[in-house]
Each structure stands twice: as structure tokens, then as C-alpha cells.
Amino acid sequence: MAKEKLTVHAVILAGGRGTRFWPRSRTRTPKQLLNIVGKDTMLQQTVARLKPLISAERIWTVTNAEQASAVRKQVPAAARKRVLIEPMGLNTAVAIGLAAIHVRHTAHADALMAVLPADHYIEQPQKFREIVNAALDVAREPGRMVVLGIPPTKPETGFGYIERTREPIGTKDFPFFAVRRFTEKPELKLAQEYVASGDYHWNAGMFFWRVSTFLENLKRFLPKSHAALEKLAAFIGTRNYERKLREIYRKLENISVDYAILEPATRAEGPPRVFVIPAEVGWSDIGSWGAVHGLLLDRNSSDGNVFVTPGYALDARGNFISCPGKIAALIGVHDLIVVDTPDALLVCARDRAQDVGKIVKGLEEQKLRKLL
């Protein structure tokens, strides 16, 4: 029996602030719009990974008004009309719902959606594309929702975990498994147990489903938001769309797609609805400057220093330095992050890189908007 012909659309979520990458990451130019690793920005790298699979006119980007102009400049010309602007940030369930009604409107029918973060690093793009193809194939069956699971390399407490069944459902090319449950950011002891069991994967926030499947689940688990978005759908392409968007968005729920849909769908009675495909593709969410140090570190380095810009080190080890337009000289210091910009300088211990976001909160409290 021939497969139903469905167009494939990518939805890139690009509205985050990336506060842990201050002082480079700012409100208008956050992490995903910067070249954190490599010459291209994180958003540009995300689009480039998709190009062989999904044409530019089927790439959608969800962002906010402050970042929309920069986003349009970074996506291909054919994707600029597909930049969706949220009036306010309301987490991933609503952002994906907004994209879903637009995809349905454009496709004039059902379609497949690949939902991807804009700011993740993938070391093996070709293998990633192969796994995406496999995930889309699984998601073709109505009612199925698929998430990519990253095999954990350590007991990380900052990620969500996916528990899967032990027996694969499909074995061709890339096996997939039914999801038993999702767990958010466990304590260290529990994370150690998860990793040792072999039954858990990190949740990388990459999802695949039919538009109809997603909207049916949105209706089931977030009925008020679904009803509001369906009202908005009637205004797509009309002169009243922007006004209606602002009016309706205030009524939508601020919740992640994991909490709102995937977790309750996993717990629901009946046959499995949520599946995971293990994806060992050299993934990193690049959550801090410390993570960048780890990615860029030359494993043959004797001193563990990473100089993104020119510099010298004397009796200095394990440092990360980014000081554009300057020569940085380090003497006798160890495990530091040093990031310089024209109006701000960050110096912190490398093992405190996750706390940079707290500095941004402090700047907000002091209303130092020029530095945000």
C-alpha cells in the first residue's frame, strides 16, 4: 500500500534569550543569533542541517518582535515569509500550536512537522538527517508523536530524561521505542541510576508528528488554548490577523509541550502514543560558556586553554577566552571564563558558568537595560 503523500515542514523555535551567554547574548541578539561555535550562527547551522531534507519555503521560525528582524536576515529568503512573531513568550506548547495552524493553512491539508530548537549543536549532521527521516516515517501514522532521545554520557542533572521500553518496536535502520515516562531534572543520585540502567535518554526537545495529531492532542489536553488558536486560524492571511493575534494570545496557557501534551499522552490508557528514537549524533545544547570550552577544547592540548581570539598563556590552564579586538594575556590563572564586549566584561570560574544568568537578573533588577 502506497504511503499517504504528506509535505514535511520544519518549525524552528527561536525565541529564547540565552542569558547564560551574557555579555555577548543580548535581548535583540540572543544565543541562537550568535556564532557561538563556528563561523555561522546557531540558527544558520540549524537551517543548514535541514536544507537537504526540507525546502526553505517549508521552514518556519517562531520568535518574538525584538528578534524578528535579525531572524529574517539569517534565514533563507524563501523562509522569511514563514517567520512567526509571538506577541509574548508563552513557552513551547503555544509556540508549536501557532506554527501548526499556519502549516495547516499553507499546506491546505495535513502535513508532517519537525519541531527543532534553534540553538543546539550537532556534530554529525548527516546521521542527524537520517534519524530525522526515520522519525518522520514513524510519525506518519496518525496519533503517533516522536521525540529524539540523546544517549546520556554522564549523570546530568540539568536535562529532562525519557524512560523507554526495552524492546524496540521497529528495527529497520534506526529502532524506536515506546516512552514510559518523562522526568524533569532529577537529583544527582537518581540521574546516576538512570544512566546506569540504559533505559533513559536525555530529552533534546526535538519532536515529530502530523499537524493533525498535534492539534488533536492540544484539543484533548489544552482545550482552551486549542479553541483560541482555532479562532485565530480563521484570520490567517487577513488584515485583522495581527490584531486578533494580540487579542487571543493573552488567553493562551504558558506551559511547555512536554508538560502539556507529551507527559499526559504517555500516561493515557490505550496503546502507546509517544515514541523515542535514540540519536547519538554528537548533540549539545551548549548551555553555557563552560560547555563551549568543552566543545572547542583540543583534546591534545597540554594546558586546556581555549582562545577564541588571539592570546598568550603563561602557567595558566583550563581557561576560555573571547576578547575580540584585543590580545589577552593570562598568567597563573586556572579554569576561568573571560568574555569581553565593548560595554561589558565577564570573568567567572568555569564551574560557575551556569550562574551567568543570575547576573542578567541582577541587571534587570537595576534596570540597566543598555546591558540587557
What's residue 142's pLDDT? 95
Whole-prediction pTM: 0.93
- Judged on CB neighbours under 10 Å (0-12, 13-18, 19+), 333 is middle
**Cα separation of 343 and 227, whole Å?**
46
- For 212-242, write each residue's pLDDT tens digit: 999 999 999 999 999 999 999 999 999 999 9
Q: Mind listing the pLDDT tens digit for each residue in 120-162? A: 999 999 999 999 999 999 999 999 999 999 999 888 888 899 9
- The verdict on whether omega for the bond into residue 342 sits within 30 degrees of 0, i.e. cis, is no
The grid cell for 199 is 533505559
Cβ contact 117:206 at 8 Å: yes
Question: DSSP letters along 160-195, please?
Answer: -EEEE-SS-SB-SSS-BEEEEEEE-S--HHHHHHHH
13: which 3 cell numbers? 523555535
pLDDT digits (tens, 9 = 90+) for 57-114: 999 999 999 999 999 999 999 999 999 999 988 899 999 999 999 999 999 889 999 9
Angle between helices 65-74 and 42-50 (to 10 degrees): 50
What domains can you pick out in the chain, each with its CATH number?
Answer: 8-284 (3.90.550.10), 289-371 (no CATH)
- What pLDDT is attached to residue 172? 67
What torsion, rounded to 10 degrees, do the Cα atoms 84, 78, 71, 134 define?
A: 80
